[in-house]
Amino acid sequence: MLGRLAIRQIPRYYTVSSRLINNSHQLSLRNVPAIRRLALVGLRRPFHSSANLLHRTASAEHGMATCGNPAPAFKFERLPTNAEPTHYDVRLSPCLNQFSFEGLATVDVTIKEATDVLKVHAQSLLIQSVSLVANSGDAPKKLDTTYDDKLNILSIKLPSVLQPQRVQLIFKFIGELNDKMRGFYRSQYKDKDGSEKFLASTQFESTYARLAFPCFDEPIYKATFDVTLEVDSHLTALSNMNVISETPTTDGKRKVVKFATTPKMSSYLVAFAVGELEYISTKTNSGVEMRVYTVPGKKEQGQYSLDLSAKCIDWYNEWFDIPYPLPKCDLIAIPDFSMGAMENWGLVTYREIALLVDPGVTSTRQKSRVALVVAHELAHLWFGNLVTMKWWTDLWLKEGFASFMEYMFVGANCPEFKIWLHFLNDELASGMGLDGLRNSHPIEVEIDNPNELDEIYDSITYAKSNSVNRMLCYYLSEPVFQKGLRIYLKKFQYSNAVTQDLWSALSEASGQNVNELMSGWTQQMGFPVLNVSQRQDGNNRVLTVEQRRFISDGGEDPKNSLWQVPITVSVGSAPSDVKARFLLKEKQQEFVVEGVAPGEWVKLNSGTTGFYRVEYSDEMLTAMLPDIASRKMPVLDRFGLINDLSALLNTGRVSIAQFVQVAASSANEDEYVVWGAIDEGMSKLLACSREMSEETLKSAKQLIVKMFEKTGAELGFAEQSGEDSQKMMLRALVQARLARAGHQPTIDKFNQMFTDFLEKGTPIHPDIRLATFGVVARSTGKEGFDKLMNLRETTTFQEIERQAMIAMSQTPEQPLLAQLFEYGFEKNKVRPQDQLYLFLGTGSTHMGQQYAWQYFCEHIKEFLEKYGGANSSLFQRCLKFAGESFGNEKRAVEFQDFFCNCKDLTDTDRQTLARPIGQTVEAIRLNARLLEANRSIIENLLKQSNL
């Protein structure tokens, strides 16, 4: 077991600082979100043979059949284009006691080509009748239907061939308020008296509007919607638009709430919410009514998001130069929510933890995440809602841009978070972590069957797209980038677009061929590493730069991919300036940087704005070390350099000893993010050492104590006045590392803080709380475990609940872990949306890893059932967590074989899961590889360190 290789990035709302969770033993490959179809082929030869590597590459990249069997021949079909909806009138009458709803949907359809059949999506609905009105005023005529349950398509037989014309389809149906967090579903919570309550809300993206009413459920079919909800009188009913009327039913028990007509929009953006809700409200400067809705008792925790969202709407109005078109925008916190948040137009839904903040209790990291999530969803109101991708292949057009805009907004409006520093780790490094795998996929990813969709909401679609946008923004300059986006949004508003349309708009704004520059980044998977060497020529420095695809295992790129790489250069005499700019187009090119003194260092990728890594000659790297040590080199560059080195560890091109040397020269480092990059390398050292021998592990720990001790002593545990928001996070990181390295005084101090908190009520600073819980769980056995369990049971605050759970999952004692899993999964004491946290800390011990894997294997059937199938992203995350910390070939094979032979999976499931499985297997092999490449290096390093 080599610790967490985190392939599937836990999306941001989920994340706790991953560093604080597993960091000691993790080989973080970081953040791999869900994935797509890929090979599970053979791969049984010994790890080292390079022939095997090529074989693996070829099969992985050609997406060959799974488990040696040909993939099932299921032919996916989209709706035919002979008809399109223009308007829907949707009336739903949900019953929160019976978990069901009755519905009536009238759809105005334009027939564009003569046809005798119309097709719409519907799923898990009991269709009572379908009728047609061909000419207004005619009596509705009942029609026959057939249903394809693989495609979720209802085919409606028309009475005769109808010529192009407008018709109305009327559907009467009954649906279920399910508990799978998709479609129109129910959430459960306890009110203040402890009694069980339900609310109903929706999650329609990507393909779940069809669970609530029959519709043309593809993003291209934009229409207007009139929504009417009939609900119990004491409940609040919400939808995308403002209420235009509320009428009691004749018996007075229910009320009929009608909402204004929406703008033209795609079906996945429709939303409803019904329940006992309370709210706080404000108005934007532009006059939009903003509200935050919660279940009773929590509305005050919405204040932070409410204020920020109002500011955000005004800021985007200006930035995009298009005013938000609806009169209102509600943000609602939903107790059961599978994703982080969802950008329904006018009714944005969030999981509670992604929206609600308690100023004294929420950690800085979590608060900044709330700011990012709020800004992300509101950016979608333009990128996604106003302009929508034609098909899911271009999903990045909304997710990548909403992700970039969230940083633009938070960077400009919440300077206290220093968010661009975090961007590097959370986005750039995360995107590269996944994209360095052979089982990655291009940003523009072919989507055939939307069943594959959940798994492309991943670090490629989010973090890589985001980073590539940032790179382009720097390359074109922000004003030009903004101008291009404004052109794009205006041109395609209330309509749909493809990636090429965006490049055209940016080309128009910049006068450059943006398509030529960018298509390599969005159409090829992977990214380049630049190999640089130099020679001095008088007063000039001549750089030789060669590009090749960065692959985490250090192997060959079967495709010989090339990118157009925007290169910036900075030099020792002016570290913060961009001294020169080049565009690398060929495999290898020479560039001359003028006016560089001999001996002066030269660094590429100034400000780490590019989505590529750089590998320097020894001479070039050594020249930079003094300015890393003195922090004369800017922080974004220090991070980039160290993170590149840490990534190169797995390729075998940089050794752990070289990394430790650079880390040692960073003894005066004072920035949290840079320490994070150093710490990650240290966790790789520990992970490998643990596999070697007890003795080696002990020495490695001693080395780490030696390296971190001074900083730990200087930082102490308590917040000092005048510190910035990063200091407490740094303190938590360094002290947690010392504790994991077995530094007893640090462990004692953490345990004391926990005891004082429980016994005397002495508060633990929110930013060091998870670190504290973790130490307690790892070092105090059943006693600490029980206290954490009690805390989880009694706290009403979600972040604390989650942190206690993550901490408990790091227990080194199997009976306690078994107790935790039983509590969370079998007794269902943990909401399904949060159950993946139980896997999160298990990678920190061999026992935990083994337990989690075995548990997953034994309970896969229940997992599939609970999360709604193999395409559920929650299911896929559990799958990855269950395996990715393993570190040897045997485990890689075992992992793969399990899915090939598992009786609870269908061939379609196997197809859906091929990429997540492929990525996890690759991650396990990378762990193994790191160890083998560094065994003797580590032995020597530890011998020479005079411990």
Least spacing, CB of residue 342 vs ligand BES, in Å: 5
Q: What are residue 569's phi and psi, to 5 degrees?
A: -130, 135
217 binds, among ligand BES, Zn ion, none (CB under 5 to 8 A by kind): none
Name which position in 3, 8, 11, 788 contacts ligand BES (CB under 6 A): 11
Name which position in 299, 376, 778, 787 contacts ligand BES (CB under 6 A): 376
For ligand BES, what does the binding mask look like between residues 458 and 487, x meaning CB under 6 A? ----x-------------------------
CA nearest neighbour of 630 among 593, 601, 667: 667
740 binds, among Zn ion, ligand BES, none (CB under 5 to 8 A by kind): none
Given the complex with ligand BES, which of 268 and 863 has the nearer CB atom? 268
Sign, CA dihedral 486-490-493-496, equals: negative
**Alpha-carbon distances, residue 266 vs 379, 396, 451, 489 (angstroms):** 17, 16, 18, 16
Q: How far apart are CA 551 and CA 556, in angstroms?
A: 8
Q: How far apart are CA 816 and CA 405, in angstroms?
A: 43
Which residues, 6 or more positions from 592, have their beta carbon under 8 angstroms from its beta carbon?
A: 537, 540, 541, 542, 543
Residue with tokens 């069943």: 451
Least spacing, CB of residue 100 vs Zn ion, in Å: 30
Q: How far apart are CA 263 and CA 579, in angstroms?
A: 49
Stretch that binds ligand BES, among 338-346, 517-525, 761-769, 799-807 (CB under 6 A): 338-346
Name which position in 336, 343, 452, 679 contacts ligand BES (CB under 6 A): 343
909 binds, among ligand BES, Zn ion, none (CB under 5 to 8 A by kind): none
Sign, CA dihedral 766-770-775-781, equals: positive
Q: Which of 176, 218, 343, 377 is catalytic?
A: 377
Least spacing, CB of residue 352 vs ligand BES, in Å: 13
Q: Which two tokens stand for residue 335?
A: 């107790």
Is-contact 441 392, C-beta < 8 A?
A: no
Is-contact 154 120, C-beta < 8 A?
A: yes
Q: How far apart are CA 764 and CA 758, in angstroms?
A: 10
433 binds, among Zn ion, ligand BES, none (CB under 5 to 8 A by kind): none
340 binds, among Zn ion, ligand BES, none (CB under 5 to 8 A by kind): ligand BES
132 binds, among ligand BES, Zn ion, none (CB under 5 to 8 A by kind): none
Stretch that binds ligand BES, among 231-239, 335-343, 567-575, 598-606 (CB under 6 A): 335-343
b/e string for 450-470 if b means 16 or more Cβ within 10 A? bbbbbbbbbbbbbbbbbbbbb
Least spacing, CB of residue 376 vs Zn ion, in Å: 5
Asked about 377 being catalytic, the answer comes back as yes
Q: How far apart are CA 452 and CA 440, in angstroms?
A: 14
Given the complex with ligand BES, which of 402 and 529 has the nearer CB atom? 402
Name which position in 1, 200, 205, 231 contacts ligand BES (CB under 6 A): 205
Question: DSSP secondary-structure letter at 718?
Answer: S
Residue numbers 390-419 binding ligand BES by CB under 6 A: 399, 402
Which residues, 6 or more positions from 385, have their beta carbon under 8 angstroms from its beta carbon?
A: 265, 269, 343, 345
Burial of 75 (0-12, 13-18, 19+ CB in 10 A): exposed
Residue with tokens 């345990």: 751
| Distance, C-alpha 855 to centroid of its chain | 25
Residue with tokens 């990429």: 915
For residue 376, say whether it is annotated as part of any ligand binding site.
yes
Residue numbers 366-425 binding Zn ion by CB under 5 A: 399, 402
Q: Does 341 bind ligand BES (CB under 6 A)?
A: yes
Given the complex with ligand BES, which of 178 and 206 has the nearer CB atom? 206
Q: Which residues pair with 581 in a beta bridge?
A: 568
205 binds, among ligand BES, Zn ion, none (CB under 5 to 8 A by kind): ligand BES
339 binds, among ligand BES, Zn ion, none (CB under 5 to 8 A by kind): ligand BES
Given the complex with ligand BES, which of 428 and 732 has the nearer CB atom? 428
Question: DSSP secondary-structure letter at 24?
Answer: G
Nearest residue to Zn ion by CB is 402
Q: Does 328 bind ligand BES (CB under 6 A)?
A: no
Least spacing, CB of residue 26 vs ligand BES, in Å: 22
For residue 765, say whether it is annotated as part of any ligand binding site.
no
Which residues, 6 or more positions from 485, have their beta carbon under 8 angstroms from its beta carbon?
A: 320, 401, 505, 506
Residue with tokens 């996945």: 268
Given the complex with ligand BES, which of 189 and 457 has the nearer CB atom? 457
Beta strands in 371-527 (DSSP E): 387-389, 495-497
DSSP string of 229-285, one letter each residue: EEEETTSEEEESS-EEEEEE-TTSSEEEEEEPPPPSB-GGG--EEEES-EEEEEE-T
Site size for ligand BES (CB under 6 A): 19
Residue with tokens 């004082």: 756
Burial of 695 (0-12, 13-18, 19+ CB in 10 A): exposed
Least spacing, CB of residue 459 vs ligand BES, in Å: 10
Which residues, 6 or more positions from 624, have their beta carbon under 8 angstroms from its beta carbon?
A: 572, 601, 603, 616, 633, 641
Q: Which two tokens stand for residue 686?
A: 């520990």
Q: Which two tokens stand for residue 895?
A: 């992992």
- Provide the 10 A C-beta neighbour count for residue 797: 15
Q: How far apart are CA 785 and CA 943, in angstroms?
A: 37
Given the complex with Zn ion, which of 13 and 420 has the nearer CB atom? 13
Taking the CA atoms of the chain, what radius of gyration do you get in angstroms?
28
Name which position in 2, 13, 331, 787 contacts ligand BES (CB under 6 A): 13
Stretch that binds ligand BES, among 81-89, 370-378, 425-433, 762-770 (CB under 6 A): 370-378
12 binds, among Zn ion, ligand BES, none (CB under 5 to 8 A by kind): ligand BES
Given the complex with ligand BES, which of 387 and 635 has the nearer CB atom? 387
Angle between helices 514-523 and 465-476 (to 10 degrees): 160
341 binds, among Zn ion, ligand BES, none (CB under 5 to 8 A by kind): ligand BES
Nearest residue to ligand BES by CB is 340
Stretch that binds ligand BES, among 8-16, 715-723, 782-790, 828-836 (CB under 6 A): 8-16
Q: Does 365 bind ligand BES (CB under 6 A)?
A: no
Is-contact 496 219, C-beta < 8 A?
A: yes
Name which position in 16, 215, 373, 429 contacts ligand BES (CB under 6 A): 373
Given the complex with Zn ion, which of 330 and 343 has the nearer CB atom? 343
Residue numbers 206-235 binding ligand BES by CB under 6 A: 206
Question: DSSP secondary-structure letter at 327?
Answer: S
Site size for Zn ion (CB under 5 A): 2
Given the complex with ligand BES, which of 13 and 88 has the nearer CB atom? 13
Least spacing, CB of residue 398 vs Zn ion, in Å: 6
Given the complex with ligand BES, which of 389 and 768 has the nearer CB atom? 389
Residue with tokens 């001294």: 579
Stretch that binds ligand BES, among 146-154, 372-380, 639-647, 834-842 (CB under 6 A): 372-380
1 binds, among Zn ion, ligand BES, none (CB under 5 to 8 A by kind): none
Given the complex with Zn ion, which of 369 and 737 has the nearer CB atom? 369
Binding site for Zn ion (CB under 5 A): 399, 402
Which residue positions form the known binding site?
376, 380, 399
Binding site for ligand BES (CB under 6 A): 11-13, 205-206, 339-343, 372-373, 376-377, 380, 399, 402, 457, 462
Which residue positions form the known binding site for Zn(2+)?
376, 380, 399
Task: State the catalytic residues.
Answer: 377
